[in-house]
Amino acid sequence: MTKWSLWYHLLVSYFEPFFNLFYLRLESMGKENIPKRKAMIYAPNHQNALMDPLAITFTNPRQIVFLTRADIFSKPLLLKIFTSFKMLPVYRIRDGAENLKNNERIFNKSVEVLEAKATLALFAEATHTDKRRLRSLKKAVPRIAFMAEEKNNFDLDLQIVPVGIYYEDYVHSNTKLFVNYGKPFGIKEYQTLYEENPQKAYSKFKDKLSERIKELIIHIEDLEHYHIYDQIRLFYRSTMKSRLGLKGPKLKHAFAADQKTIKMAEKAFLYGENNIEVFGNQYRRIEQGLKAKGFSLLDFEQSCMAKTMFATLVLIIGFPLFLYGFINGFLYYYLSMKFIKGIKDKQFYSSFKFGIGAIVSPGLFLIQSFIFWAIRGNSLWALYYFISLPISALLANRYRYLFISTRKKLKIIVLRTFKPKQYSLIVKSRTSLLDNLDKLFFSEE
């Protein structure tokens, strides 16, 4: 666990291309904040099951030892896979009170990792959530950090690096992922307090870490009206990007706009005198009317006619390739849907999709290519066929998402062309909602 591992390197080299292809875009920011040649703990928020540790692994040059929930180690095969990725199990009360004693051994092993100037990572919340917010932090991070420093007379110079993970979409592939590395901090300042009262030191440390992580994520404080805030985040994104002077498709710009929107919305509604239910009811009323027609308010962003026509042309020309990829990748799609139906926690959907794509689909493609060779008797064509399978499957997946987005844009064009009054009324309602938010957010300027 403490030394550089060739096997770990090979595993990362194999899985990384699959991960990069699973997401339409993977961006990271703040990697200059990562200390070099120091004991270090990454403390990220936890949003999306196994995709979270992979997101950090594939945006980071260092080999990382992850502490993660013990229940995923329950199967022998999974135990081998996750151990190969330098993962250690952490036991919770739900794993059985009798297993909690195993944490002492795991924490001691973690201290050894840090003493070797290696890198440790664990999720400070201890469990993932399907909400864009930070839950209360648990004791694992401060406990390990203070154990390591106490054992080394607070001379280890251990650095805590907060990390924010931001998904455009938790469930689907072909979406965007942003990993945000914050500035590191040490725990030397808590030494006196820790020696007097460890629990108070833990609490102070958690407060600081919580604030540092919140700076790197979208944090919606008001759970009662969570979905209204989340709608505002998406609905106002383009306007906020324009307000902030952020141009282009970079995910860090969408993140900055979303974060600013939530802060201003909470200032206006949660801490101000405005009633968020009023806005929520207005938004819902318009949205429900549009839903009956197959639209959403988010569909009425300004779009380029030329780009929509070009996308339509690509769809027409690319349909045979989509059909080829879909037919040959049918087993992969079938297995993905079959596995997902049995999963209750949606935060594991993308993890299973990725796992099937990276582990199962290469085997399926080999079997299909062997059958092709057995029928045709030509090894060169069988090789060509094998190479075409993953490429066509990827393009078919991209085609599907392009079809969905382009179909919506074409429906808007049809509405604008043949029912201009109805279109104008929708645009007017949308503009009115945006104007209301403008007044709430920027009335003091």
Angle at alpha carbon of residue 232, lines to 172 and 432, rounded to 5°: 130
* Residue pLDDT, tens place only, 102-147: 788 888 999 999 999 999 999 999 888 889 999 999 999 999 999 9
Residue 184 carries which side chain, given as an amino acid letter? P
φ/ψ of residue 160, rounded to 5? -100, 125
- Above 90 in pLDDT, residue 7? no
Measuring CA to CA, which residue among 63, 69, 102 is closest to residue 86? Answer: 63
Angle at alpha carbon of residue 371, lines to 365 and 375, rounded to 5°: 145
What pLDDT is recorded for position 93?
A: 60
Mean pLDDT taken over the chain: 91
Q: Residue 87: exposed, middle, or buried by beta-carbon count in 10 A (0-12, 13-18, 19+)?
A: buried
Measuring CA to CA, which residue among 57, 49, 44, 51 is closest to residue 86? Answer: 57
Query: Which pair of structure tokens corresponds to residue 351?
Result: 């993890």
For 250, the 3-state DSSP assignment is: coil
What domains are defined for the chain?
6-214 (3.40.1130.10), 220-274 (no CATH), 305-427 (no CATH)
Concatenated DSSP letters of 93-110: GGG-GGGTTHHHHHHHHH
Measuring CA to CA, which residue among 297, 279, 299 is closest to residue 287? Answer: 297
What pLDDT is recorded for position 69?
A: 75
Helix (H) or strand (E) holding 82: helix 76-84
CA atoms lying within 13 Å on the CB side of residue 18: 21
| Percent of all residues in the chain with a pLDDT value above 90, rounded to a whole number | 73
Burial 44-55 (b: 16+ CB within 10 A, else e): bbbbbbbbbbbb
Using alpha carbons, list the distances in angstroms from residue 102 to 70, 125, 245, 306.
Answer: 10, 20, 52, 61
Q: Are 164 and 182 in contact (CB under 8 A)?
A: yes
Q: Cα–chain-centroid distance for residue 195?
A: 38
| Strand arrangement, sheet containing 87-90 | 25-29, 176-181, 159-167, 40-44, 119-122, 64-69, 87-90
φ/ψ of residue 369, rounded to 5? -70, -35
Residue with tokens 């926690």: 345
* Count of other CB atoms within 10 angstroms of residue 357: 23
Concatenated DSSP letters of 276-336: HHHHHHHHHHHHHHHHTTT--GGGGS---HHHHHHHHHHHHHHHHHHHHHHHHTHHHHHHH
What pLDDT is recorded for position 292?
A: 87
* Residue pLDDT, tens place only, 249-306: 889 999 999 999 999 999 999 998 899 999 999 999 999 999 988 899 999 987 788 8
| Gyration radius from the chain CA atoms | 25
Q: Residue 13: exposed, middle, or buried by beta-carbon count in 10 A (0-12, 13-18, 19+)?
A: exposed
pLDDT band of residue 402 (cuts 50, 70, 90) is very high
- Above 90 in pLDDT, residue 336? no
Q: Are 267 and 439 in contact (CB under 8 A)?
A: no
Residue 426 carries which side chain, given as an amino acid letter? I
Q: Are 64 and 110 in contact (CB under 8 A)?
A: no
Concatenated DSSP letters of 180-216: EE---B-SGGGHHHHHH-HHHHHHHHHHHHHHHHHTT
How far is 179 from 201, CA to CA, in rounded Å? Answer: 29
Angle at alpha carbon of residue 18, lines to 126 and 21, rounded to 5°: 100
What pLDDT is recorded for position 74?
A: 66
Question: What mean pLDDT do residues 420-425 have?
Answer: 94
What pLDDT is recorded for position 96?
A: 62
* Residue pLDDT, tens place only, 42-101: 999 999 988 999 999 999 888 999 988 777 666 777 677 777 778 888 876 666 666 677
pLDDT band of residue 334 (cuts 50, 70, 90) is confident
φ/ψ of residue 250, rounded to 5? -60, 135
Question: What mean pLDDT do residues 174-178 have?
Answer: 94
